């Protein structure tokens, strides 16, 4: 048997891998000044990222909050917390991040740098809308990862505090070597392939109505490109490294004891990395009956009350007592 075809295949392999490199969105050059419209954030490259906003209607506004949704979700997923915080006296804004919801190039990963750049622009615009109010960034799951990457980068967005709700920190550092290799090889060989989590039975929330809405919403991505999933893993790796660097501004990190979407071992490996600071600088909160989607669980109002209380007085204990549960720094 001749080995010539095998040798040819080996020689061609680097070119084949290069041809199948993970795809990123095509981002144009700056062409417009960014602006905050009623239903969209107009970005410097000329695209509009759909925007939702909720404003207090029966009391003065105490602060503004800019929310970032989770992976494959979009701004609608933050409706409950948006309405809840508006009822408590806070202006809340949430936009569809690139590649998600009704934003352009649906399903294609925009890249960590671009997602951070978009957050930087959005935060600046919301701050300009409410110049005399403190601004807080709230991120759910992947949104939390974007905030962590942004706040520990070279040019952090303007913010008076960050609220990380089940931030996605399941990075490559927490995975076995064989899993890391499989993810990296898949992203190189079949970046275009779409995967659907069939046969995986995990509970994201105890609110079944909210889960049904997610399943039926055509804008929620059900089949994920391999290279998009790989982009998420890279972002989560950055977030894992960022945990120990999260110093300023003040932060609140929230996890559910019943977390089932993120690797529990990865979460437990990350929790001790958050800096030991005074209560007014950083706070961990663990909800014993909470799931990954804390903002949509039946216990969501408890979470909303804690967020409002922490914004108003970062030194006071949280009303729910969830900060006391975090003393062991584990969700086992």
* Helix H or strand E encompassing 175: none
Whether residue 74 is contained in a domain is answered as yes
User: What is the pairing mode between strands 48-54 and 194-195?
Assistant: unpaired
Please indicate, yes or no, if residue 2 is contained in any of the structural domains: no
Amino acid 198: pLDDT: 57
CA 191 to chain centre: 22
pLDDT at res. 1? 42
| Domain assignment of residue 80, given as a range | 38-328
CATH code of residue 258 = 3.40.50.1820
Q: Which residue in 169, 134, 163 sits closest to 151, CA to CA?
A: 163
In a domain, 261, yes or no: yes
Q: Give the pLDDT confidence of 209-220 residue by residue, as tens digits.
A: 999 999 999 999
Distance CA 293, CA 322 (A): 16
φ, ψ at 16 (rounded to 5°): -65, -40
In a domain, 294, yes or no: yes
* Structure-block tokens of residue 270: 């990350």
- 275-285 per-position pLDDT tens digit: 877 777 899 99
Residue 269 lies in a domain: yes
In order, the DSSP letters of 285-308 are EEETT--S-TTTSTTHHHHHHHHH
Is pLDDT above 50 for 274?
Answer: yes
Residue 2 pLDDT > 60: no
4: pLDDT strictly greater than 60: no
Higher pLDDT, 173 or 11: 173
Reported as a single tens digit per residue, the pLDDT across 21-69 is 899 999 999 999 999 999 999 999 999 999 999 999 999 999 999 999 9
In a domain, 42, yes or no: yes
Closest CA to 179 of 230, 215, 135: 230
Cα separations (Å) of 39 from 36, 42, 84, 157?
8, 10, 20, 22
In a domain, 22, yes or no: no
| Cβ contact 17:188 at 8 Å | yes
- What percent of the chain shows pLDDT beyond 70? 92
Structural domain contains residue 25: no
Q: Which tens digit of pLDDT belongs to each residue from 194-241?
A: 887 754 578 999 999 999 999 999 999 999 999 999 999 999 999 999
Structurally, how many domains does the chain consist of?
A: 1
Average pLDDT for the chain? 91
Cα dihedral across residues 159, 160, 164, 169: positive or negative: positive
Neighbouring-strand partners of residue 284: 253
The token duo for 237 is 């790796």
């Amino acid at each position: 048997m001749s080995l010539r075809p095998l040798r040819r295949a080996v020689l061609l392999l680097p070119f084949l891998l290069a041809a199948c490199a993970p795809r990123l969105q095509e981002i144009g050059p700056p062409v417009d000044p960014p602006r905050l419209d009623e239903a969209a954030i107009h970005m410097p490259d000329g695209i509009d990222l759909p925007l939702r906003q909720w404003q207090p209607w029966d009391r003065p506004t105490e602060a503004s909050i800019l929310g970032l949704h989770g992976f494959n979700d979009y701004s609608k997923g933050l409706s409950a917390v948006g309405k809840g915080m508006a009822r408590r006296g806070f202006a809340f804004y949430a936009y569809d991040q690139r590649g998600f919801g009704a934003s352009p190039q649906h399903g294609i990963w925009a890249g960590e740098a671009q997602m951070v750049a978009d957050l930087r622009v959005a935060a600046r615009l919301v701050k300009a809308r409410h110049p005399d109010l403190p601004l807080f960034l709230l991120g759910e799951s992947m949104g939390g990862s974007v905030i962590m990457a942004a706040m520990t980068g070279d040019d952090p967005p303007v913010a008076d505090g960050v609220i990380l709700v089940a931030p996605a920190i399941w990075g490559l550092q927490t995975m076995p070597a064989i899993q890391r290799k499989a993810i990296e090889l898949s992203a190189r060989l079949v970046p275009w392939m779409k995967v659907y989590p069939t046969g995986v039975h995990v509970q994201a929330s105890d609110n079944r109505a909210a889960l049904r809405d997610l399943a039926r919403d055509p804008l929620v991505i059900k089949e994920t490109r391999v290279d998009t999933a790989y982009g998420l893993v890279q972002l989560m790796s950055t977030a894992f490294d960022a945990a120990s660097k999260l110093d300023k501004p003040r932060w609140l990190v929230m996890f559910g004891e019943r977390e089932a979407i993120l690797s529990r071992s990865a979460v437990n490996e990350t929790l001790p990395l958050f800096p030991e600071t005074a209560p007014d600088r950083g706070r961990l909160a663990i909800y014993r009956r909470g799931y990954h989607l804390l903002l949509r669980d039946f216990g969501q109002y408890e979470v909303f009350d804690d967020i409002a209380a922490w914004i108003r007085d970062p030194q006071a204990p949280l009303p729910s007592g969830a900060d006391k549960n975090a003393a062991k720094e584990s969700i086992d």
